[in-house]
Amino acid sequence: MAESRSKPMAEAVAEATRATERRSKGGRGPGRPSDVFGGELRRRDVFPLLVLHLVAREPTFGNRLIEDIEEITQGVITVNPNTMYPLLRDLEKRKLIEGRWEHPDRRTRRFYSITDAGREEYERLQAELSPFLDSMIRTVTLIKREIYGDG
């Protein structure tokens, strides 16, 4: 059976196995899908791409972004506020988004909107990340096909 596997398939299965073993040794059991995908998605700028995408649709705030990402991924990817808010501050510092307090005197919710520089970065990330996202789809499809067959 191992000989019939393609090299990418064997590598994908091996990486998934290593990730599961690392989590199991840490005493956390098999973990959530977001544990497996979340780290790689953060490393590959997928979260900034998602945030820029959502902010480009309409001005929004941090907790809504967290909820929207969870909804888009049907709960597979969850974003911790400790990830989201530093990302928003970084995007704002880089002038890719602009934040405004809903009620400046009370500092309730900070609404973010995309800037012209943010639109340029959004387009750059779209082009750059498309092959990576395609490879993730292929990898998961190969793993599923290996385990469950073509049917």
Residue 89: domain span: 32-144
Q: Please indicate, yes or no, whether residues 18 and 50 belong to a single structural domain of this protein.
A: no
pLDDT 10s digits, 117-143: 999 999 999 999 999 999 989 998 999
Per-residue model confidence (pLDDT) at position 59: 97
What pairing do the DSSP bridges indicate for beta strands 110-114 and 97-101? Answer: antiparallel
- Considering the domain boundaries, does residue 124 fall inside one? yes
For residues 25 and 45, membership in a common domain is answered with no
**149 found inside a domain:** no
Same domain, 60 and 25: no
| String of DSSP letters for 62-93 | HHHHHHHHHHHTTTSS---HHHHHHHHHHHHH
24 and 38 share one domain: no
Per-residue pLDDT at 30 = 45
Number of domains in the chain: 2
**Whether residue 11 sits in one domain with residue 77:** no
**pLDDT (tens digit, 9 = 90+) per residue, 42-84?**
667 889 999 999 999 999 999 999 999 999 999 988 889 999 9
12 and 83 part of one domain: no
Instruction: Note whether residue 43 is domain-resident.
Output: yes
Q: In 3D, which of 53, 55, 36, 33 has the Cα closest to residue 45?
A: 53
CA pair distance 139, 89, nearest whole angstrom: 33
Asked, for residue 74, whether it belongs to a domain, the answer is yes
Report pLDDT for 37. 59
Q: 47: which 2 tokens?
A: 């979260």
Each residue's pLDDT tens digit, 136-145 = 899 989 999 9
